[in-house]
Amino acid sequence: MSRQVIIYAKSIKSHLSRLSRWGLKGTLFEIEGVEGDKSIEGYLKIVDFLIEQDFKKSDLLVAVGGGSLLDLVGFVAATYMRGVDVAFVPTTLLAMVDASIGGKNGINRPWGKNSIGTTYLPKKTFLDRVFLSSVPLEQLYPGYVEMLKIAVVEAFSTLNGHTKIVEDKELSTFLEGWEFPPSDKCIEKARALKQTIIDQDLNEQGRRYLLNFGHTVGHALEAYLNYRISHGEAVQHGMVVEMELLGFPKKVQKKIISFFPFKSPFPKIEPELFKNILLRDKKNRDGRVAFSNVLNHNNKNFLTFMDPQTVVEACMKRNTYDCLHTRA
């Protein structure tokens, strides 16, 4: 008879009793469940525990926590005994709308985020919005940024090649209902939009590249700052810089930026070090930095490539602008 091993984040320990509603029960293993756990050491800690528990190929691994924990446990599941079944119980907004969908998992190294990983789908995902009911708004923010990213990607995919997208009214129609904090309806819509793209391109050969919007600069910031910046804040900065580099109309940039409830200055960077981190992105080609071509892909050419120095200068320009202007 198969068993279950439940890897859970320390912060949700008081909610573990809710797992019984889905028949999830078994041996428990607690970790912090933060970005710092996505490491070789964190990976081996879980693998060693599974070996100690005599975890079999027929058993079920269960991940209960936020995006970092799901990324880590998903990677363990993909590689332990060449693949074991895993179920996800996402407990943060970011995990619900992003990390639990699409099968991407992995661990970080000092020189890059998710630099070691696989694509491996969970057997089942269980949602319980009770986990969101008592958290501070700041903890919902990283997930909301991903939701807004998905909405923007969908808007431009739908209207690609149509100049009407530059009108406030057109963009507002696509962003209608994407308020903060998000409603249940908005969460379901974001999940459905991402799932549609995943169903079309699970292995990231084309359209799925669009979901990396904001992440080229965002991931580089996370690595540069040694993951002391939240994923949401990093991707928000990435979206702002990438909109400028991709040539988004100014009116559209302002409209999208207006949907961010929290705003902070772009971090100060050391140009050469930041450039070196940018150049480690796995999507790059021939020394040029890859970006999701959200604006002009016309259902092909989902990536566009830019000179790294141009990207660094755009980031430094944003830092200067943010430091000179008071942001609400």
Residues assigned a catalytic role: 82, 104, 146, 194, 204, 208, 212, 215, 219, 231
CA distances from 46 to 31, 107, 108, 186, 237 (A): 9, 13, 16, 34, 33
Task: From 238, 209, 237, select the one nearest 297 (Cα to Cα).
Answer: 209
Of how many residues is the chain composed?
328
User: Torsions phi, psi of 231, nearest 5?
Assistant: -60, -40
Report angle CA 302, 304, 309 to the nearest 5 degrees.
155
Q: Can you tell me the distance from the alpha carbon of 237 to that of 217, in angstroms, rounded to the nearest whole number? A: 8
Q: Can you tell me the distance from the alpha carbon of 68 to that of 286, in angstroms, rounded to the nearest whole number? A: 31
Q: Can you tell me the distance from the alpha carbon of 47 to that of 70, in angstroms, rounded to the nearest whole number? A: 15
